[in-house]
């Protein structure tokens, strides 16, 4: 009976709410109108598209949000009008199937239900992976690198299931598939790709190492070794054996490098409003190069359970009253992470007006001179974390965004693997994510977010006893 199914679904919803509250998470679906003034943004009607239920994370308004757990199980009492309607739709789905698509808004690769909350709830209860939806895409302001790459991919593939977390992976997928973004891909080919991903997901979720990479990132690595057809033609036991080999390779790779998430200047909605565990599960450390809200850093430290180190930007005077709790300020320090990685911090920008966290060239040079005493004790550094760039290496001509010339001599002397900075936004025009300094140091502009890898040390440093 539908009433029995409703009661069972409601129990799952109550469990989900209790678990979310225990972990200080929102127990109900996210409300789109609380995140963004979507009425003021341009939209695009994408028509009816098959979308993954796992990417439906919220409702457009708060009207029905509290009637569901965050994963869309029902919460209203059995026997209520809500329960009666839910049970009727459930019976219709079992007997006839749901034919009408739900209506959703898509914002940054996540969906918010406008019409059809109960249908979404029922399909979740039944364990269905996808649902037909009439999709209205909300076009975000600003630059969102990975999402922009997805939108180009979607124009040809018309599929949402592939959701990469790192810039450049859609291009890698195209090379592996031997496809181009020229016109609409044949429906039969897209269905084969979806089928391959579905079978991969089914096996990958059973593996012990499934938390190492997101499903899409792991899928790409699988395809770089094996062919797409193998996922469709081979027995699941063969795929599982290959998956074990893949996981062993990924494990060996992860043991050789640290994966570090670097951030600066602009909060990324994908890591805050649309955060999921898989987005940071393969990250070892988080570094902030400044000018980020303290609440954002606190959220990442709490939800990811990773160490968050930061320096201050020239707009971080709010940290005086509200420093990001659970995060570590390494300004004017050399921080030893995991008893191995040496990270030197020097925040702030070139002084262009009165205020804190701004320095003249002479003042910054004096700060670096004092840091030199610490660096001698640690036998150097692996990462130099700053807010401002080095002069001539990603800075600008205006006084506010000039780089420090003393950084160049500092890099030449200590030669870290990486220098991480922010301050110069991607929206300013001539933006370059990576540069190679004459010292050999790789300079990374951490605007928004980026992931770097650094080799793990094979032996102890001289400063270690």
Strand residues in 225-278 grouped as ranges (E): 257-264
Number of domains in the chain: 2
237 assigned to some structural domain: no
> What is the spatial distance between Cα 98 and Cα 309, in angstroms, rounded to a whole number?
49
Q: pLDDT of 38-81, one tens digit each?
A: 888 899 999 999 999 999 999 998 888 889 999 999 999 988 99
Average pLDDT over residues 193-211: 79
What is the number of other CB atoms lying within 10 angstroms of the CB of residue 119?
Answer: 23
Residue with tokens 């190069």: 289
Q: pLDDT of 235-270, one tens digit each?
A: 777 777 877 777 777 666 666 788 899 999 988 887
244 assigned to some structural domain: no
Contacts with 122 (C-beta within 8 Å, 6 or more apart), sequence order: 86, 89, 90, 93, 98
By the 10 Å C-beta count (0-12 exposed, 13-18 middle, 19+ buried), 91 is classed as: middle
For CA atoms 399, 405, 406, 408, give the dihedral sign.
Answer: positive
102 assigned to some structural domain: yes
Q: What's 38's domain CATH number?
A: 3.90.1530.10
408 assigned to some structural domain: yes
306 assigned to some structural domain: yes
CA atoms within 13 A on the CB side of 184: 5
pTM check: above 0.85: no
Average pLDDT over residues 309-317: 94
> What is the spatial distance between Cα 228 and Cα 250, in angstroms, rounded to a whole number?
19
Single out the residue in 124, 141, 158 at which a domain terminates.
141
61 assigned to some structural domain: yes
* pLDDT at residue 341, as a whole number: 92
Q: pLDDT of 333-356, one tens digit each?
A: 999 998 889 999 999 999 999 888
Average pLDDT over residues 198-214: 74
**Does residue 211 surpass a pLDDT of 60?**
no
DSSP character at residue 115 = E
Share of residues in the chain with pLDDT > 70 (%): 94
Please answer whether residues 338 and 297 qualify as being in contact, where contact means their C-beta atoms are separated by less than 8 angstroms: no
* pLDDT at residue 77, as a whole number: 92
What is the number of other CB atoms lying within 10 angstroms of the CB of residue 411?
Answer: 20
Same structural domain, 444 and 298: yes
Q: pLDDT of 154-185, one tens digit each?
A: 999 999 999 987 778 999 999 999 999 989 99
> What is the spatial distance between Cα 121 and Cα 90, in angstroms, rounded to a whole number?
9
For CA atoms 355, 361, 366, 367, give the dihedral sign.
Answer: positive
Domain that includes residue 280, residue range: 258-455
**Does residue 293 surpass a pLDDT of 90?**
yes
> What is the spatial distance between Cα 96 and Cα 93, in angstroms, rounded to a whole number?
5
199 assigned to some structural domain: no
Q: pLDDT of 360-406, one tens digit each?
A: 999 999 999 999 999 999 999 999 999 999 999 988 888 889 999 99
Structure tokens at 346: 């020097």
Single out the residue in 141, 172, 205 at which a domain terminates.
141
Q: What is the DSSP string of 222-240?
A: HHTTS-HHHHHHS-HHHHH
Q: What's 403's domain CATH number?
A: 3.60.21.10
Contacts with 421 (C-beta within 8 Å, 6 or more apart), sequence order: 264, 289, 385, 386, 387, 388, 389, 390, 394, 443, 444, 445, 446
Residue with tokens 């160490």: 307
Average pLDDT over residues 449-455: 89
Structure tokens at 138: 């909300």
* pLDDT at residue 206, as a whole number: 74
Average pLDDT over residues 197-217: 76
Average pLDDT over residues 107-134: 93
* pLDDT at residue 277, as a whole number: 76
* pLDDT at residue 212, as a whole number: 62
Closest among 162, 142, 139 to 150, alpha carbons compared: 162
460 assigned to some structural domain: no
Single out the residue in 119, 141, 163 at which a domain terminates.
141
Give the Å distances, CA to CA, from 64 to 30, 87, 112, 119, 127.
Answer: 11, 17, 12, 13, 22
**Does residue 458 surpass a pLDDT of 50?**
no
3-state secondary structure (DSSP) of residue 361: helix
Same structural domain, 285 and 424: yes
Band of residue 457 on the pLDDT scale cut at 50, 70, 90: low
16-25, 113-122, 304-313: lowest mean pLDDT where?
16-25
Q: pLDDT of 405-434, one tens digit each?
A: 999 999 999 999 999 999 988 777 667 889
* pLDDT at residue 459, as a whole number: 39
Closest among 314, 261, 322 to 288, alpha carbons compared: 261
**Does residue 232 surpass a pLDDT of 80?**
no
Same structural domain, 290 and 423: yes
Band of residue 113 on the pLDDT scale cut at 50, 70, 90: very high
């Amino acid at each position: 009976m539908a009433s029995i199914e409703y009661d069972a679904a409601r129990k799952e919803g109550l469990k989900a709410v209790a678990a979310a509250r225990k972990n200080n998470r929102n127990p109900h679906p996210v409300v789109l109108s609380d995140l963004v003034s979507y009425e003021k943004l341009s939209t695009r009607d994408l028509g009816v598209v098959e979308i993954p239920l796992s990417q439906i994370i919220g409702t457009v308004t708060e009207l029905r949000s509290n009637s569901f757990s965050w994963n869309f199980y029902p919460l209203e009492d059995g026997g209520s009008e809500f329960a009666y309607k839910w049970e009727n739709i459930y019976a219709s789905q079992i007997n006839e199937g749901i034919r009408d698509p739900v209506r959703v808004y898509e914002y940054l690769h996540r969906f918010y239900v406008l019409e059809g909350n109960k249908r979404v709830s029922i399909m979740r209860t039944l364990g269905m992976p996808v649902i037909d939806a009439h999709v209205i895409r909300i076009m975000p302001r600003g630059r969102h690198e990975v999402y922009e790459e997805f939108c180009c991919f979607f124009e040809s593939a018309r599929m949402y299931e592939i959701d990469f977390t790192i810039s450049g992976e859609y291009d890698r997928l195209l090379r592996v598939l031997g496809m181009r973004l020229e016109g609409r891909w044949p429906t039969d080919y897209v269905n084969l790709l979806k089928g391959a991903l579905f079978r991969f997901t089914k096996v990958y979720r059973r593996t012990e190492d499934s938390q190492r990479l997101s499903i899409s990132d792991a899928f790409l690595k699988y395809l770089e070794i094996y062919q797409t057809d193998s996922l469709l033609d081979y027995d699941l036991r063969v795929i599982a054996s290959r998956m074990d080999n893949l996981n062993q390779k990924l494990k060996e790779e992860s043991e050789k490098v640290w994966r570090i998430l670097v951030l600066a200047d602009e909060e990324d909605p994908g890591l805050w409003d649309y955060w999921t565990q898989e987005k940071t599960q393969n990250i070892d450390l988080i570094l902030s190069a400044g000018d980020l809200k303290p609440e954002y850093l606190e959220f990442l430290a709490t939800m990811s359970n990773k160490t968050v180190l930061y320096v201050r930007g020239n707009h971080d005077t709010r940290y005086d009253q509200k420093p990001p709790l659970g995060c570590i300020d390494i300004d004017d320090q050399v921080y030893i992470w995991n008893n191995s990685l040496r990270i030197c911090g020097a925040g702030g920008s070139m002084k262009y007006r009165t205020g804190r966290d701004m320095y003249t060239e002479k003042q910054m040079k004096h700060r670096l001179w004092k840091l030199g005493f610490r660096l001698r004790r640690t036998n150097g550094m692996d990462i130099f974390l700053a807010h401002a760039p080095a002069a001539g290496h990603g800075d600008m001509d205006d006084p506010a965004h000039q780089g420090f010339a003393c950084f160049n001599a500092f890099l030449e002397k200590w030669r870290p693997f990486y220098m991480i900075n922010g301050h110069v936004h991607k929206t300013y025009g001539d933006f370059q994510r990576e540069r190679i300094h004459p010292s050999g140091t790789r300079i990374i502009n951490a605007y928004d977010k980026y992931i770097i890898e650094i080799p793990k040390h094979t032996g102890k440093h001289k400063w270690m006893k």
